[in-house]
A and B are shown apart, each in its own frame.
Chain A
Amino acid sequence: MAKPRRPQPLLIRITHWINVPVLAILAMSGLQIFLAYPFFGPRGAEYDWVPLSGWMPPEWIRAGGWLAGARHLHFAFMWVLVINAAIYVIYLAASGEWRRRLLWRNQARQRYNRLQRAAYTGALVLGIAEVLSGLAMWKPVQLHRLTWLMGGFDGARVIHFLAMLGLFGFVIGHVIMVIVHWRKFPEMITGGKREDA
């Protein structure tokens, strides 16, 4: 007989709430880094088509104060993100929770509807794209195969920026849904009442 479980297991709640400030710090320090050269593509062959190229992010959405400070923040919190995300993904896989939460056709009782599952799967994919394109820019010469896969340093920079915008879009929609379904919110903190799986 399956053990009674909470609708929101502890590890999912912990990794979810750690993720919120960590992603905010990464996005804000990233925008401080972006400000140093807010254009895409190699010198002399810029990619003008990338949305927001030339944009100067205002101070209130930047973190780190200056380029070196922001880079140190970014390269410190990237590890927190990677460790937190690894715990989340391993837990989802090992516990079978992914069947109820991600976009896969199967028999298990779903926790979320299709739209929610599509959004959560999309956020996970964007997060992975963010980590891989970030690593490709951090070590474009040593991790040259990864960087090649991302379309070179300049391709990785575009992917990194667009995936950041995608994550931003997800969070806006996500928070609106949370407000609409505000009754579900306490479960994300307390875990909710134990139920049969």
Chain B
Amino acid sequence: MRRRDAFRALAGLGLVACDTRKPHKGALGAVERFNENVEGVLLSDRAASEDLELTPLEAFPGYHVAPAIPQVPHDWYLTISGMVSKPLKLSLDDLRRMPRIDARIRHHCVEGWTAVADWGGVAISELAKLAGAKETAYVEFRSFDAPSFESRGYWSSWDRASAFHSQTMVAYQMNGQPLSAKHGAPCRLYGSVKLGYKLVKYLTEVNFIDRRTGGYWENKGYEWFAGV
């Protein structure tokens, strides 16, 4: 091999190792897994409780992947399933009757903006207790927000420690009001330890599982852990 070819091969190898179109692979993927360990070590159960100023509701963005704001299906209920001894089907009223946690949290979007709201709902740890969930390493959240009629809905999977953080909840209240369609009605995942794209809106399923199942943006190349 001539020296020029060797150089070209080396440069090519570098590009494959850092292919930003497939960032979970190669060197970038290896660093992502290293960063996940760092993020796991940094994660504490401390509740975010800063003195925060509320964002005016109309200035709080609402994203979805469906062509229009998803509307609640008439037969909606939330299923709690996976490795549980007692799978559950919960209505909104069932959720409202359960112990509620409230928290004022700053939302961190991967795009770089932030916004603050008060959230109220049922802790994931409470749902786990009620359904008799095994100590699984992951929890998966699924949604009825779907890019098209045939495709599966938006979803995300979480590490156990983040899902069982004291402020991670199925939220049905925002700023003391029922959740609006723009913000994920009838209920959504909320919490203080992840970026916005992990906080699944238009929730349909909470599954306690023993393997990672990626997520809608995660599978496109965004970080899976995405802690803040």
Contacts and interface: CB of A to CB of B under 8 A. Distances in A.
Contacts of A152: 50
B: contact size bracket = 35 or more
A34 B109 CA distance: 12
B20 A65 contact: yes
A36 B110 CA distance: 9
Contact of A73 (B20, B53, B113, B193): B20
A152 B23 CA distance: 29
Interface string A59-90: 00001111111111101100100000000000
A94 interface: no
Interface in B84-134: 106, 108-116
B146 to A, nearest CB: 21
Contacts of B23: 68-69, 71-72
Contact of B31 (A37, A68, A75, A148): A75
A26 interface: no
Interface residues on A, range: 20 to 34
Given A33-B112, A37-B109, A71-B110, A139 B39 contact: yes
Contacts, number: 108
Interface stretch (B72-80, B135-143, B199-207, B219-227): B219-227
B180 interface: no
B198 to A, nearest CB: 13
Interface string B208-228: 000000000100111100011
B61 interface: yes
Interface string A33-46: 11011010011110
A33 B113 CA distance: 11
Contacts of A76: 18, 27-28, 31-32
Contact of B28 (A39, A73, A143): A73
A53 B137 CA distance: 42
B71 interface: no
6 contacts: A36-B112, A43-B60, A66-B221, A72-B221, A139-B39, A142-B228
Interface of B: 18, 20-21, 23, 27-28, 31-32, 35, 39, 42-44, 46, 48, 50, 53, 55-56, 59-61, 106, 108-116, 192-193, 217, 220-223, 227-228
Given A42-B53, A72-B28, A141-B192, 8 more contacts: A39-B113, A43-B59, A64-B20, A68-B20, A75-B31, A142-B193, A143-B42, A152-B50
